[in-house]
Structure 1
Amino acid sequence: MSSKDQKVPDEQVAENTENVLEQQMNAEKADAAETENVVDPRVAELEEQLKQAQANERDALLRARAEIENIRRRTELDVEKAHKFALEKFANELLPVIDNLERALEVADRTNETLQPMIEGIELTLKSFINAVGKFGVEVVGDINVPFNPEVHQAMTMMESEQHEPNQVMLVMQKGYTLNGRLLRPAMVAVSK
């Protein structure tokens, strides 16, 4: 064989090899495309599940944060109310003392000069006592010539009066008190008809 004859088969072998390689690459690409088509639905399904799981976790996290915030707010309100109204029982026990000091002043003989220092002492004691409980939110309810309010007044009697408009407080028989806006004791009053 001549070298020319050898070149032809070498070229043919090279061409055949290139063709075979090209066919193998095309086959691999086709296999990869088929595999990709098979994997794509599964990957898409898994990605969708992942997105759904992330959305669920995000939702659960937001709900948990909201619940924690609500609990925090409720706790703050409870603590605030506890501070405001912790003195309620104590203040209720002090009200009869105030009433008794006021009654003592009502019946005191102001014409007797020897009793004047004692009367002044009771007045000062009552004033300082009312100021002290006032610092803690206790307020007096018991003005006259104001409209009757069933939330803070207790009508003991109704009386005819030309000096007062109907449904006005004419007389306070016993003062009422509130603690930080909450009624401790209603004022016992006489109301005009």
Structure 2
Amino acid sequence: MMADETEHHGEEAAKETGTEAGKAMHEEAANEGQAEGFSNPLEFLNAELQRVEAENGELKDKMLRLAAEMENLRRRTQKDVADAREFSIAGFAREMLQVADN
């Protein structure tokens, strides 16, 4: 019974803390918005959302370009290794033929 009461009080405290944190974040956003010339916190939040979405798009583009670059590097490296093996085998065969001719 005591554990249930403690658990219930813990849940209430977490809800209150979450609500308090939400209020604090809203007040902070409102203060930042007023400092930046926005009369309404909603305007500030919309502008901030647009800025973050634009940044997100840029980062996604950058990530995709880097992934493509890494894939191209992997393919080039595999081709270089295959070419090196082919030329080393050809060189070895050429040397063996020279020895056999003598």
Q: Tell me how far apart the structure 2 counterparts of residues 82 and 65 of structure 1 sit (CA, whole Å).
A: 26
Instruction: Tell me which residue corresponds to 2:6.
Output: none
Deviation at 1:58, TM superposition (A): 0.5
| Larger gyration radius, structure 1 or structure 2 | 1
Q: Tell me how far apart the structure 2 counterparts of residues 87 and 38 of structure 1 sit (CA, whole Å).
A: 73
Q: 1:54 aligns with which of 44, 60, 71?
A: 60
Instruction: Tell me which residue corresponds to 2:33.
Output: none
The structure where helix makes up a greater share of residues is 2
Deviations 1:49-105 (A, max 9, x none): 111011001000000000100111111111112222212222212212xxxxxxxxx
Instruction: Tell me which residue corresponds to 2:49.
Output: 43
- The alignment's C-alpha RMSD in Å is 2.0
- Counterparts of 1:6-155 in structure 2, within 5 Å, are 34-96=40-102
Larger RCO, structures 1/2 (Cα 8 Å, 6+ apart): 1
Deviations 1:125-169 (A, max 9, x none): xxxxxxxxxxxxxxxxxxxxxxxxxxxxxxxxxxxxxxxxxxxxx
Q: Tell me how far apart the structure 1 counterparts of residues 54 and 98 of structure 2 sit (CA, whole Å).
A: 65
The structure where strand makes up a greater share of residues is 1
- Counterparts of 1:178-193 in structure 2, within 5 Å, are none
Structure 1 gap segments, 5+ residues each? 1-30, 97-193
Q: Tell me how far apart the structure 1 counterparts of residues 40 and 80 of structure 2 sit (CA, whole Å).
A: 60
Structure 1: 4+ residue segments shifted above 3 A: none
Structure 2 gap segments, 5+ residues each? 1-29, 31-38
Letter in 2 for 1:61: A
In the superposition, the TM-score normalised over structure 1's length comes to 0.31
